[in-house]
Amino acid sequence: MSIPAGPPQGNAVKTMEPRQRRTVVTPSHGEGAGGKAGSLPQARSFAARLIRWHKRHGRHDMPWQNTTDPYRVWLSEIMLQQTQVATVVPYYERFLRHFPRLADLAAAPVDDVMALWSGLGYYARARNLHACALAVMREHGGEFPHHPDVIAGLPGIGRSTANSIATFCFGAQAPILDGNVKRVLCRAFGVEGFAGNSVVEKRLWRLAGELMPKRDGGTYNQAQMDLGATVCKRGKPRCESCPLDDICVALASGRTGELPEPKPRKAIPRREATLLVLRHEGRILLETRPPAGIWGGLLSLPELPEAADARQWATRRFACRVIAVAPAPTLDHAFSHFRLRIAPLLLDVEPSSAAMEPGLCWLNDEELATAGVPAPVRRILEGLQASGNRPLPSRKR
């Protein structure tokens, strides 16, 4: 089974006897700052509690903080989507060394952007990052727009990311709704249902809008994210350190392990793919993946069509003479929506003198070290280097 062109995009926790049953909040007014916050029982103190807590316990030293530069804030917001802070920091710093300004990013070839993103995953983010930089240069004179709705119209930027940029950089009072904030709101106000469900998400946006204070929006939004990341954590919330412990519906009813409700479980499909490692005089053949879909735009090892003979297919496809073929160790890689087992095949070949077609390239070890390749392909290549990348014994066939 081949790698698809694009994605179809624990044990239950026992409920404790409630100490006190509280009403589940279902807000229905306003989505922006200054909504009817008084309609929620604890709304007036909610933002003030978080802002006070953040001053003493929040995160203040991350590399994208203490700046109002929209380029740096936007870059961090995109990198942090579905990726942990510890993973993002070295990528963020390396990215800024190569592209210190938005204009530098827009002027760079997209292949250079993909190479720097290699290993961070969710590669559509990198393609959209480059497209967004181009759009800002072309449509906004190189200056990030200030209004959240206009920012949200740029490639790869959704509502929550747009509101973050507008809040942190331009003083907007706009609510955000990333995974950490959803978890805090679901627990504090007892919002039931899967937070990714469109109906539940609309309810959360209304709630976030009602809670948004009229001032200190940036501090408030950062406080929500920090609380979710460091205290109101998914697995083991530290409720004893939470500034909302006395108003939290989930804590009062013994449901911190149940809220927010998890995504309905589906069986994760398993797929298999054979990748060909064509080698010649210390170089390896890579090809550019299609721009959309899995590993879009990255360099990768050629994929053998299902049921095809590797020797015959490589001879026809790459106009080369195959000297020897041998299997390499398999490896497993998990995507968000399926698991992939990769079976690499080593092929020592003698290329013809015919011109290479576009999208194919032979790279040596030094070039491979900086090439934009997917993480599992990098693991295959590093395994070959560790084993000495020795030629296979040839045999006649």
Q: Which two tokens stand for residue 164?
A: 């973050």
Among left, alpha and beta (phi > 0; psi -120 to 50; other), residue 395 is beta
Residue 331 C-alpha from the chain's centroid: 22
pTM: 0.76
Average pLDDT over residues 377-396: 77
In whole angstroms, what is the distance from residue 151 CA to residue 166 CA?
8
**Fold assignment, 270-386:** Nucleoside Triphosphate Pyrophosphohydrolase (3.90.79)
Q: What is the pLDDT of residues 335-383, one digit of tens each?
A: 888 999 999 999 999 998 766 788 899 999 999 988 989 999 999 999 9
* Residue 393 confidence (pLDDT) above 80: no
What are the boundaries of each domain within the chain?
37-252, 270-386
Query: Length of the chain, please?
Result: 397
Strand partners, 342: 273, 331
Please work out, in degrees rounded to the nearest 5, the angle formed at the alpha carbon of residue 141 by the alpha carbons of 136 and 146: 65
In whole angstroms, what is the distance from residue 341 CA to residue 334 CA?
9
* Residue 185 confidence (pLDDT) above 80: yes
Q: Which two tokens stand for residue 80?
A: 């942090």
Check: CB of residue 225 under 8 Å from CB of residue 54: no
| CATH superfamily membership of 37-252 | Hypothetical protein; domain 2 (1.10.340.30)
Pairing of strands 303-304, 320-327: unpaired
pLDDT at 187: 97
- Averaged pLDDT score across all residues of the chain: 88
pLDDT at 394: 57
Check: CB of residue 155 under 8 Å from CB of residue 128: yes
The single residue of 17, 31, 77, 139 carrying the catalytic annotation is: 77
Out of 17-31, 116-130, 216-230, which region has the weakest mean confidence (pLDDT)? 17-31
Q: Which two tokens stand for residue 325?
A: 């073929």
77 has catalytic annotation: yes
Check: CB of residue 2 under 8 Å from CB of residue 306: yes
* Residue 247 confidence (pLDDT) above 70: yes
Q: What is the pLDDT of residues 271-325, one digit of tens each?
A: 999 999 999 999 999 999 988 888 988 999 999 999 999 999 999 999 999 999 9
Residue that is written with structure tokens 């398999």 in the block: 330
Out of 1-10, 260-269, 324-333, 337-346, which region has the weakest mean confidence (pLDDT)? 1-10
Average pLDDT over residues 106-118: 94
Average pLDDT over residues 159-164: 98
For the chain, the straight-line distance linking the first and the last C-alpha, in angstroms and rounded, comes to 27
pLDDT at 385: 83
Q: What is the pLDDT of residues 46-97, one digit of tens each?
A: 999 999 999 999 999 999 999 999 999 999 999 999 899 999 999 999 999 9
Pairing of strands 299-300, 331-334: unpaired
The percentage of the chain sitting over the pLDDT mark of 90, rounded to a whole number, equals 76
pLDDT at 397: 43
pLDDT at 355: 60
* Residue 237 confidence (pLDDT) above 60: yes
Comparing C-alpha atoms, which of 212, 211, 248, 243 is closest to residue 56? 243
Read off the pLDDT band of 267 (50, 70, 90).
confident
Neighbours of 349 (CB within 10 A): 21
Q: What is the pLDDT of residues 5-54, one digit of tens each?
A: 554 333 333 333 333 333 344 333 333 443 443 345 566 689 999 999 99
Q: Which two tokens stand for residue 169?
A: 């950089």
